[in-house]
Structure 1
Amino acid sequence: MTLDDLTEDIEETYESLDDLDVDLDEGTRRELTMLLTALDEDDPEDMLEEAVSMLFQSTVESGKLDFHLRSAYDVTYDEYLSGMTYDEMTGGAQFPQAEQKDERRYQF
């Protein structure tokens, strides 16, 4: 295969994206075209699904998802999945500590 073959395949793939149900900006459309052509992928929707999965996974692994969830909702992804907060998991919500200092609680 040659550069001309690649250019032809990219142009064909680019045009085939007109049938896609997703609105893409020009840069994303060109990047998707290159990935589809280079990876010999036929279905752009499968590629988009994979891209979302990869973005989600990297966002979870980097801690960005927890950061944004904690900032906006005061929970983490693990708390969301379990359906309870860490305080609820550890029993901290059942036995809240008094906000005043109670030095006697450590005395025997």
Structure 2
Amino acid sequence: MGLDDLTDDITAEYGELDDEYPLELDRETKNELAMLAAVFDSTDTDELIRRGIHALFRSTVDTGDLDFHLRQSYDVTYDEYLAGMTYDEMTGADQFPQRDDERRYQM
């Protein structure tokens, strides 16, 4: 097997992707999926897509991107989501009364 065989396999996989998925794949995505299908000798591109979603999810967790977006949108982190409670709830910090900073230094 060589470069020509790889190119042929990618081209064949690329052509089959048009008929297989109801979502529209751009050229770059189809090319990458075709490359993965050819390299892993997989006729089940659904499995490659599932792996891709898992890899993207793992990557966003590992780099902190998921926590960043969760904190922006929902004011929680992934760990808080998994635990079912916020850090303040875990540590008991939300049980103390709020300080009255206006009256704090008045005598």
Structure 2, gaps ≥5 residues long: none
1:2 aligns with 2:7: no
CA distance in 1, matches of 2:21, 2:44: 10
Q: Structure 1 residues 69, 99: closer, same or farther in 2, change over 3 A?
A: farther
The residue aligned with 1:23 is 24
The 3-state SS of whatever aligns with 1:93 is helix
Which amino acid is the alignment partner of residue 35 of structure 2? M
The Cα of 1:15 is off from its aligned counterpart by 1.6
Q: TM-score, normalised by structure 2?
A: 0.84
The Cα of 1:37 is off from its aligned counterpart by 0.5
The Cα of 1:45 is off from its aligned counterpart by 0.8
The Cα of 1:83 is off from its aligned counterpart by 1.5
Q: TM-score, normalised by structure 1?
A: 0.83
CA distance in 2, matches of 1:61, 1:6: 32
The residue aligned with 2:91 is 90
Between 1 and 2, higher relative CO (CA 8 Å, sep ≥ 6) is seen in 2
The 3-state SS of whatever aligns with 1:52 is helix
